[in-house]
Structure 1
């Protein structure tokens, strides 16, 4: 038996099925957002840092 018919059959009301599927979708969206945010943070770390020009001093004095 497939998982979707089994999921539908174990609920006495269609509202319960909709709520369970909605919860599954909400968890999937939340995990997707966490994954996407992590990817963005990795991409930010990979960006090149601006290099110092000749004559620039690290202490900020001229």
Structure 2
């Protein structure tokens, strides 16, 4: 399970502000949004390749 709470990502401008969601194990999810809206940046943050500027991400209830 992945739990993201109040994620904020900032570069030259705010990319993502106050995003929260829970992804359950064994499910398939999709991410759809316009170009330049921060989809890849969010996935990089979930993968640990980019540090979020706010909020928390935990995996299976581990910080």
Q: Which TM-score tier does this pair reach, normalised by the shorter chain? A: under 0.3
Q: Which is richer in strand?
A: 2
**Larger-gyration structure (1/2):** 1
Question: What TM-score does the superposition give when structure 1 sets the normalisation length?
Answer: 0.27
Q: Which is richer in helix?
A: 1
